[in-house]
């Protein structure tokens, strides 16, 4: 039976033989909101797990199955940092004379986003 980790955009897909003892410890180590059971049939288990739990999966695999899982795919790093873009703001129009030496600026402004490399 295969023992495998696949990296996906949703996290880690973990395939292993089914073992009730393994399942109890697996559920105690990984919070419910960070794991989803995809399939199990009494012979194997297939889980979707948050990527931060890779070491837990490795440790449990070695403990219960005597080997580390095969790794398929390459983990990708997501850039979630801020993005800076150059904006060009143009003033369209002129101040309007409202009388009594008071000028009122009432206009529309256009923002043009220029490509930044």
Give tens-digit pLDDT for 55-70.
999 999 999 999 999 9
| 109 within some domain | no
| 100 within some domain | no
Enter the pTM of the model: 0.60
| 49 within some domain | yes
Q: How far is CA 43 from CA 47, 58, 80, 101, in A?
A: 14, 20, 39, 87
The count of structural domains within the chain is 1
| 84 within some domain | no
| 33 within some domain | yes
| 85 within some domain | no
Q: Please report which helix (H) or strand (E) contains residue 63, including its range.
A: helix 54-65
Q: What is the mean pLDDT of residues 13-24?
A: 91
Band (117; pLDDT cuts 50, 70, 90): very low
| 62 within some domain | yes
| 93 within some domain | no
Q: Which domain holds residue 18?
A: 4-72
């Amino acid at each position: 039976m295969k023992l495998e980790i696949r990296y996906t955009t949703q996290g880690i897909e973990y395939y292993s033989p089914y073992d009730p003892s393994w399942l109890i410890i697996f559920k105690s180590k990984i919070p419910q909101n960070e794991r989803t059971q995809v399939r199990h049939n009494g012979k194997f288990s297939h889980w979707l797990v948050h990527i931060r739990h890779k070491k837990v999966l490795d440790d449990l695999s070695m403990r219960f199955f005597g080997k580390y899982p095969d790794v398929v795919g390459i983990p990708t790093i997501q850039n979630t940092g801020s993005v800076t873009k150059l904006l060009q703001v143009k003033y369209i129009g002129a101040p309007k004379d409202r009388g009594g030496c008071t000028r009122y600026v009432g206009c529309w402004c256009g923002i043009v986003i220029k490509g930044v490399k």
